[in-house]
Amino acid sequence: MLNNIGLPGLLLIAVVVLVLFGRGKISGLMGEVGKGITAFKKGVKDGTQEIEDATSESAARDVTPAAEAAEKDKL
């Protein structure tokens, strides 16, 4: 059903939306969408950075249990 819309149909929908909501409300809505996309990208970047930090930190950390370390020191 949606495959038959085409360019004239999209233009008609755009005009109807513009008439119903007005230019100011649509530009404000697009500004909020832009802020949301920016916040999402920042969150993904921060999450990736946290994962990278955790993996590099765990690789450098000594994970030997304290009892085994004490026994090795005695030998």
The per-residue pLDDT for 17 is: 87
Q: What does pLDDT average to over the chain? A: 81
Q: How many other C-beta atoms lie within 10 A of the C-beta of residue 26?
A: 14
Q: Give mean pLDDT, residues 20-49.
A: 91
Q: How many other C-beta atoms lie within 10 A of the C-beta of residue 37?
A: 10
CA 37 – CA 34 distance, rounded (Å): 5
Q: Is the pTM of this model over 0.85?
A: no
The per-residue pLDDT for 62 is: 60
* Both tokens assigned to 72: 């090795």
What residues does each domain of the chain span?
A: 13-49
C-beta of residue 32 within 8 angstroms of C-beta of residue 24: no
Residue 18 confidence (pLDDT) above 90: no
Residue 52 confidence (pLDDT) above 60: yes
Percentage of residues in the chain having pLDDT higher than 90: 24
